[in-house]
Copies of this chain bind each other. A is one copy, B any other.
Amino acid sequence: MQAHSLKAEQRIIGQEPYYEPVADEIEVFEAAYDNRLPVMLKGPTGCGKTRFMEHMAWRLKRPLITVSCHDDLTAADLVGRFLVKNGETVWTDGPLARAVRFGAICYLDEVVEARKDTTVVIHPLADDRRELPMEKLGELLEAPPEFNLTISFNPGYQSVLKDLKQSTRQRFVALEFSYPDPELEARIIERESGVDGEVAGRLVRFAEMTRNLKGAGLDEGASTRLLVQAAKLIHHGIPPAAACRAGVAQALTDDPDMLAAVNELSTSLF
């Protein structure tokens, strides 16, 4: 039993990923793609940004190369570096250079977490030059028309230190994401977990109650992703209240009072 591994640029999505559009996001993304403009996704965790990207990659028939950004991610991690292999020094493309080279869609998830040099290295790619300077090679890589750069971040968590500079922001077409409306969200839960509409509906009502607590004790309300996880536990036979405790409440907060309050909400519903 060994895991399967594949080259990043071979990750072409063959089957349509399930995605329910909430507004004109598919049209705007396609217009940006056709005009070779980079895109910026904004929205809270677990509301479907990653799934949207998989859907668009499928729709546009391009490989999708995703990079989860963090505060040790350097420009070299994105662009590439020299590695010594068997006595030969070979250049190894990073995921961004790989995406440019193969005309893939490059998705930089939570880009505000990255070090500042990574946001600067995308500047020449994100204006009409559409070129990636590979300074260690002394080369410029010109992006083919199929290449697209998309970044995402959660505006609710941006701090002053981790804000995107205007010189970065003002290069992107921006799409805002939010939680789906109740009916749509219940349909997603049913489809992803196998629970029935009744349970799905109660989970959505539970989520809405937690979202109302955002800023009043909770940093964030329950995401669609969390609801799907709790629904899976229920579908497996865990009692709904226990599933909501383990699958939602404990994931949301460590505060004993908030935990009690959130658990009370779920037991009132199930």
Contact = CB atoms under 8 A, between A and B. Distances in A.
A256 to B, nearest CB: 9
A139 B7 contact: yes
Interface band, chain A: 35 or more
A34 interface: yes
Contacts of A140: 5-8, 11
A8 B138 contact: yes
Nearest to A10: B140
A4 B130 CA distance: 11
B174 A251 contact: yes
A165 B162 CA distance: 14
B236 A35 contact: yes
A45 B189 CA distance: 36
Interface string A64-92: 00111111111101000011111111001
Nearest to A230: B173
Contacts of A69: 120
A116 to B, nearest CB: 5
Contact of A252 (B84, B170, B229): B170
Contacts of A67: 133, 135
Given A2-B102, A138-B98, A254-B158, A233 B70 contact: no
A31 interface: yes
A235 to B, nearest CB: 8
Interface string A95-110: 1001011110000011
Contacts of A252: 166, 169-170
A77 B72 CA distance: 13
Instruction: Determine the main DSSP class of A at the interface with B.
Output: mixed
Contacts of A138: 7-9, 92-93, 95, 98
Interface stretch (A142-150, A180-188, A198-206): A142-150
Interface string A210-225: 0000000001101101
A109 B95 contact: no
Q: Which 6 A-B pairs have the closest CB atoms?
A: A174-B250, A155-B254, A70-B117, A45-B167, A70-B120, A72-B117
Interface of A: 1-9, 11, 24, 27-28, 31-32, 34-35, 37, 40, 42, 44-46, 50, 66-75, 77, 82-89, 92-95, 98, 100-103, 109-110, 113, 115-117, 119-121, 123-124, 127, 129, 133-144, 146-147, 154-155, 157-158, 165-167, 169-176, 219-220, 222-223, 225-226, 229, 232-233, 236-238, 242, 246-247, 249-252, 254
